[in-house]
Amino acid sequence: MSGRGKGGKGLGKGGAKRHRKILRDNIQGITKPVRGMAFYNHSHAHIFQAIRRLARRGGVKRISGLIYEETRGVLKIFLENVIRDSVTYTEHAKRKTVTALDVVYALKRSGRTLYGFGA
């Protein structure tokens, strides 16, 4: 063995990086209602409002307009914490792919045990 470890022949390391599009405010796409929804047919209804569907599943009948921005912020913080811990588990295992078990362990660490995905 040449001591390169996992990662192939070691070619292309440290060279010029490809340009990658910087993603910003994607959280808006999760919950933002589409303007002029009346002009769309029912096949586009799945993009209308995810927060409203989650609230309905939780038994909420009427939702204030201020809820959407607050929920968006809470969801963003929650996902940042889970993803940070998941990536930490992945890096510790010297992998580049985040597995379902990494997410399960990250959720378990924050006190939210998830069953059905191993471990």
**Per-residue pLDDT reduced to its tens digit, 33-78:** 555 555 445 544 443 478 888 899 999 999 888 888 888 889 899 9
The whole-angstrom separation of Cα 102 and Cα 78 is 16
More confident residue, 111 or 24: 111
C-beta of residue 82 within 8 angstroms of C-beta of residue 110: yes
CA separation for the pair 85, 108 (Å, rounded): 10
pLDDT at 10: 57
pTM of the model as a whole:
0.65
- Is residue 103 pLDDT above 90, yes or no? yes
Q: Does the pLDDT value for residue 119 go beyond 50?
A: yes
